Amino acid sequence: MNAINTYKSSAKGIAIFGGLQVFKILLSVIRTKCSALFLGPAGFGIYSLISSTLTSIELATNCGLGTSAVKDIAKAEGSPLHTSQAYTVLNRLVWITGVLAVLLCGVSSKWLSISAFGNTDYTWAFALGAISLLCSQLMAGQGALLTGLRKYRYITRLNIWNNIASVIITVTLYWKWNVDAIVPAILLSSIINLVFSAYYARKINLPATIVSIKSTLTKGWEMLKTGIFISLSGALTVLAGYAIRIFISQTTDVVQVGLFTAVFSLVNTYLGMVFSSIERDFFPRLCAVADSVDDTSVAIRQENELLILLLAPLVAIFIAFAPMVLTLFYSDKFIEAESMMGFTAFALFLKIPSWTMSIVFLAKGDNRTYFVTQLAFTAYCLAFNTAGFYFGGLTGLGISFIPAYLLYIVHAYLLCAKKYEFRFGWIVWRKLSGYAASLICVCVAANWPNPLVRHILETLLVVSITAIALKELNEKLALTDYIRKKIKR
């Protein structure tokens, strides 16, 4: 495959899987905006602590079954009996792990309230919220069935209805009962989403089958082995986020937690969309060439170039117009966190090389190295975060992500070079450093004391970065030729 077709393949993946992400984001804007208005920073902080605690427990108990089982079901495609057997085993496992999550959360609800809020006032919140963990795990099993059988039409419809229902429930309950509606909204949304998920899963007709306990243990262990590293890696990120929220809560108050969560969610949701969209195409393509050092290096270089060109203009906008973005998505009460958002957005740009290299470990089947690398990154990122907030508040916290990702680039690159003889090439480093320097200029302009000069500089820099990135994207994707063909039709 020539270079331009490879770039187009990645761009096509972004278009297909990004479309659904854009829809989710549009609804998320409504939900987030209403949540910010009805809850305020303090209420947003309470929601953050409850939801992040539940998510941490979910990741610690789900064993990555929603991801690992996809491979088993996909392998059985074409044989309804084998598919039914795989799904039966999976269904038993999600019930076991789901009930385990409920029991764990319910029994420890008092301690969870104390650790998160410093009191027992929210014991009931965690006890009731535990039910949502079972719903989520059952949905993961049904989602694995739909994904493994490539029922993308069902998956798209399911996501649309789930997101619409969640927005309606959340906005209505927050409008009526404000902070008191946080747990009911989480619980009711998860139940409604499970109903939709079960509806589409039942559309797949599978023959009845009997799977023995011995067979369940054997096949189930294979699913668990595959998913456990993925689950642990995901849990590390969530647990680190939970730990920093607890640190902020204990050091200051829930208002600061709410501001941190708002910024972190905004940057990771809207800028992170590029990563999540491109991964669907990048990961399988990298797996296909994983045995070739040269092909792997080429694929990663191209993916880095594409990500740099796509993210640079978006990051520039987030840095330059942070107050407007925060007001648009939340309210003017969140403008206090504008400096943190600018630095966090810039740090996310630096995530590009380390993210693409971490995918190499999974493509090579080196799950242990992937997990250890994620563990190390989580450790020093958490250390930087706590120090950054302690010495510099929210702004210091945003700045702390920058050295964390720079260290991760070095860490991941040295591992890839040693284990797989990987080399980036000077083109990626040149583009990364060039656009990074431009984004630093945007940061400087965003803090210029004179408002008129500041707005002029910000606008000129954003327009320049966007124009250059679009020009380079056009060279790689032949965008103008594509547009001309569409117009002629």
What one-character-per-residue DSSP string does 52-93 give?
HHHHHHHHHHSTTHHHHHHHHHHHTTT-HHHHHHHHHHHHHH
CA distance 148 to 108: 35
pLDDT number for residue 258: 86
What average pLDDT does the segment 50-64 reach? 85
265 and 291 housed in the same domain: yes
Q: How confident is the model at residue 71 (pLDDT cuts 50, 70, 90)?
A: low
Are 297 and 391 in a shared domain? yes
Per-residue confidence (pLDDT) for residue 77, from 0 to 100:
64
Give the mean model confidence (pLDDT) for residues 349-367.
84
In the predicted structure, residue 324 carries a pLDDT above the cut 80: yes
In the predicted structure, residue 24 carries a pLDDT above the cut 50:
yes
Residue closest to 439 by CA, chosen among 324, 319, 323, 344: 319
DSSP one-letter string for 316-350: HHHHHTHHHHHHHHS-GGGGGGHHHHHHHHHHHHH
Average pLDDT over residues 131-144: 93
User: For position 4, what pLDDT does the model report?
Assistant: 47
Whether 347 and 285 map to the same domain: the answer is yes
Give the mean pLDDT of the chain. 85
Read off the pLDDT band of 14 (50, 70, 90): low
165: CB partners within 8 A, 6+ apart: 189, 192, 193, 196
| Residue 334 domain-assigned (yes or no) | yes
The pLDDT tens digits of the residues spanning 236-251 come to: 887 888 889 889 988 8
The residue with greater pLDDT, 31 or 185, is 185
pTM for the full predicted model: 0.71
User: How do residues 255-311 score in pLDDT, each as one tens digit?
Assistant: 898 899 889 888 887 787 778 766 656 665 676 677 788 888 888 888 888 889 989
Tell me what pLDDT residue 203 has. Answer: 92
* pLDDT at res. 2: 47
The backbone torsions φ and ψ at residue 76, rounded to the nearest 5 degrees and listed phi first, read -85, 0
Q: Does some domain include residue 224?
A: yes
% pLDDT > 70, the chain: 89
pLDDT single digits (tens) 375-423: 999 999 999 999 999 999 999 999 999 999 999 999 999 998 888 877 7
415/197 Cα distance (integer angstroms) = 41
Q: What is the pLDDT of residues 207-231, one digit of tens each?
A: 888 888 888 888 888 778 767 777 7
pLDDT digits (tens, 9 = 90+) for 164-177: 999 999 999 999 89
Q: Does residue 47 lie within any of the structural domains? A: no
- Tell me how many degrees the CA angle 486-157-32 measures, rounded to the nearest 5: 90
What pLDDT is stored for residue 288 in this prediction? 63
For residues 419-435, give the mean pLDDT.
86
- 69-93 average pLDDT score: 82
Residue 43 lies inside a defined structural domain of this protein:
no
Calpha distance 154→201 (Å, rounded)? 8
- Final residue of a domain: which of 186, 216, 251? 251
DSSP string covering 390-417: HHHHHHHHHHHHHHHHHHHHHHHHHHHH
Is 80 exceeded by the pLDDT of residue 43? yes
The vertex-340 CA angle with 339 and 345, nearest 5°, equals 105
Question: Same domain for 267 and 400?
Answer: yes
Token pair for 194: 């499970």
Whether 349 has a pLDDT exceeding 80, the answer reads yes
Whether residues 7 and 105 share a domain: the answer is no
Residues 156 and 203 in one domain: yes
Q: CB of 476 within 8 A of CB of 7?
A: yes
- Regarding whether 414 and 268 lie in a shared domain, the answer is yes
The confidence score (pLDDT) of residue 95 equals 95
188, part of any domain: yes
DSSP 150: T
Q: Which of 219, 251, 283 is the last residue of a domain?
A: 251
Most confidently modeled range among 69-83, 283-297, 373-387, 470-484: 373-387
CA separation for the pair 25, 126 (Å, rounded): 27
Summarize the confidence of residues 436-456 as an average pLDDT.
93
Segment 5-30 mean pLDDT: 61
Q: How many domains does the chain have?
A: 2
Residue 324 lies in a domain: yes
Phi, psi of 2 (to 5 degrees): -75, 170
Query: Does 313 lie in the same domain as 452?
Result: yes
- Higher-confidence residue of 67 and 139: namely 139
Q: How far apart are CA 301 and CA 6, in angstroms?
A: 11
As given in the structure block, the two tokens for residue 450 are 């004179």
Distance between CA atoms of residues 61 and 75, nearest Å: 25
Task: Show the tokens assigned to 56.
Answer: 């941490």
Please check whether residues 432 and 304 belong to one and the same domain: yes
Q: Are 351 and 405 in contact (CB under 8 A)?
A: yes
Mean pLDDT, residues 86-92: 92
Same domain, 318 and 245: no
Same domain, residue pair 322 and 402: yes
Q: Residue 182 belongs to what domain range?
A: 62-251
Q: pLDDT at residue 3 above 70?
A: no
257 and 239 housed in the same domain: no
Q: Which of 79-88, 197-206, 239-248, 276-285 has the highest mean pLDDT?
A: 197-206
**Band of residue 1 on the pLDDT scale cut at 50, 70, 90:** very low
Query: What are the angstrom distances between the C-alpha of 295 and each of 208, 222, 298?
Result: 44, 30, 5
Domain boundary among the residues 201, 224, 251 is at: 251
The confidence score (pLDDT) of residue 232 equals: 78
Residue 31 lies in a domain: no
Pairwise pLDDT comparison (394 vs 156), residue with the higher score? 394
What residues contact residue 246 under an 8 Å CB cut-off, 6+ apart? 49, 115, 116
Which 8-state DSSP code applies to residue 424? -
